[in-house]
Amino acid sequence: MKTLLPKTAFTASLLALLPTAAATIYPLTLTDDLGRKVTLKAEPGRIISMVPGHSETLCAVGACGKLVGVDRYSDYPQQVARLPKVGDLFAPDVEAMVALRPDLVLVSQYSKLEGPLTQAGIPVFALDMEKYDEVFSKTLTLGRVVNREAQARALTLNMRREIARVEILTKNAVRKPTTYLEIDPTPYSVGPNSFMGVLLGKAGARNIVPAALGDFPKVDPELIVKANPQLMLGLDRRAAAARPGWAGLQAVRTGRVLDIPKDLNTILSRPGPRMPQALRGLARLVHPELFK
């Protein structure tokens, strides 16, 4: 592939082309993913993020300095890794969170933090990015929340541009393999409408999981046997061959069972600003011949 422009330089050039965005006006009232109307009286200056993707997004729009604490999985960029850890969504250290005196805590709709933190007088905003388009729309929402709307807009434009560059390559692939992507060995996979499922399609693969099963379904192993995928991602060949009825699958017989490298797996599982990087890594696994 041709060398891409440095991300920071490209973002700066996009910002120069954008009209000057008005600053966010506070008080700001938005509806979060729990259906609650949350009012921010002023621009938040001390934020705790309990979702790694949200931590990365805040940093990518220039609001990393507002973070005073993060969940234990937030580890990117480097500034985030040095911040105080306050547990995770399902095992939070509420006392430590309150001690950091945040004026906003970002959570997932699946956490149960809004109750105790709201009682403590701390605004809580629940946000999730499960669909591909939500990654862009909710990046803009986060940009608005932290008064970084122009930066968020530039970020999403940059992401779409980088994703399009990969798609140009994969659209030219002669064969697009039927593919099973495993995110958990129990086994869980991804539906075609989830953000990971969309990335799989953009990487030049054909997902064997039907949309009717949902975005991140637990799948019947028999479904995989019947689909007989040409490519399997997210597990190794030995593990696949050991499962009942899987040794004869096309992917196992031809050696097209590929574990996903740990770093790529982390990026792939986090909807956020590194989604183009995740797509490029995924496309290299599906179509290595296009990246020589």
Q: Does residue 279 lie in a domain region?
A: yes
Q: Which two tokens stand for residue 140?
A: 């803009």
Q: Does residue 267 lie in a domain region?
A: yes
Q: Does residue 14 lie in a domain region?
A: no
Top-confidence residue, 141 or 112:
141
Q: Which two tokens stand for residue 234?
A: 């997210």
CA 133 to chain centre: 11
If asked whether residues 230 and 135 sit together in one domain, one would say no
Give the pTM: 0.90
How distant, in Å, are the alpha carbons of 48, 114, 225 from that of 92?
12, 12, 40
Helix (H, G, I), strand (E, B) or coil at 13: helix
Q: Does residue 136 lie in a domain region?
A: yes
pLDDT tens-digit readout, 210-249: 999 999 999 999 999 999 999 999 999 999 999 999 999 9
pLDDT tier, 5 (very low <50, low <70, confident <90, very high otherwise):
very low
Domain boundary among 147, 166, 187: 147
Structurally, the chain folds into a number of domains equal to: 2
Structural domain of residue 244, as residue ranges? 175-290
Q: Does residue 207 lie in a domain region?
A: yes
pLDDT at 4: 37
Q: Does residue 18 lie in a domain region?
A: no
b/e for 220-231, b at 16 or more Cβ within 10 A? eeebbeebbbbb
CATH code for the domain in which residue 281 is found: 3.40.50.1980
pLDDT at 172: 85
Q: Does residue 68 lie in a domain region?
A: yes
% of the chain exceeding 70 in pLDDT: 92
Residue 235 CB: number of other CB atoms within 10 A? 21
